[in-house]
Amino acid sequence: MAKSNARKQREKMAREGKRNPDQNRSIFAFADMRQRVTKTKAEKLHQRKHRRSLSWNSDDDLFLFVA
């Protein structure tokens, strides 16, 4: 496989002691972003089922503690 002109320039800069532009790249440039997993239908239903807070289901009792 042939080397691109950009790769040749990067290698030349590294040989001359200059900073290699590969080192300027973010760590996310090499991350494989295809590993995402979407939620299943059951997970989506479970998320919607428990959306409301617990206080909605509980009784509206009021406790007053006097010391």
- Is 3 part of a structural domain of the chain? yes
The pLDDT value given to residue 37: 80
14 within 8 A of 20, measured Cβ to Cβ? yes
Note the pTM of the prediction, 2 decimals: 0.37
Residue 2, pLDDT > 70, answer yes
- Is 1 part of a structural domain of the chain? yes
Total domains, the chain: 1
Range of the domain at 12: 1-34
Report which residue type is found at 20: N
State pLDDT tens for residues 23-66: 888 877 777 777 668 888 888 887 766 566 555 555 555 666 67
Structure tokens at 41: 């239908």
CA distance 29 to 36: 16
The pLDDT value given to residue 5: 94
Question: Residue 18: which of 27, 7, 9 has the closest Cα?
Answer: 9
- Is 16 part of a structural domain of the chain? yes
The pLDDT value given to residue 63: 62
Structure tokens at 21: 């532009």
- Is 62 part of a structural domain of the chain? no
